[in-house]
Amino acid sequence: MSDTLFARIARGDLPCARVLETEHALAFLDINPVNVGHVLLIPKQAHRTVADLPDDLAAHLGSLLPRLCRAVQKVTGAPAFNVIANGGSAAGQTVFHVHWHIIPRHEDDAVRWPWPHSSYGDETLMKAMQDRLVEALTNAG
């Protein structure tokens, strides 16, 4: 059984400011929010990243996101929001129990976007990546 911070919250071992709960999911306020109203959505069953989720659980969690985003915007008055799920330490994940951040955004907040981007620079590199991804998805079990 997982003993991450979020697993302990999901089991009820630690308190949280719950905003939405289903049989398989829990949404609560982040105690260290990027902006006030920052919500976290987790599956109650522990999985490390989005890639580790069973499809049915991923679909259930995904079905809750629009409702949570609308509520966060309505309550905070934010004209925008980010929905982010970090997968792995290189991506910034610090709690290894999959979770989505729903972060209300305002024009004058301190969060900076966009991330730096670069070009493939060569169509053959992009085509090779496309082919490899299509093959991986075709052969996925």
Out of 60, 99, 101, 106, the active site residue is 99
**Can 60 be counted among the known catalytic residues?**
no
CA dihedral angle for residue 20, residue 30, residue 89, residue 113, rounded to 10 degrees: 100
- d(Cα 85, Cα 90) in Å, to the nearest integer? 13
Structure tokens at 54: 């069973």
Alpha-carbon torsion 87, 114, 37, 79, what sign? Answer: negative
- d(Cα 40, Cα 27) in Å, to the nearest integer? 5
The CB density around residue 60, as the number of other CB atoms within 10 Å, is 16
Active site amino acids: 99
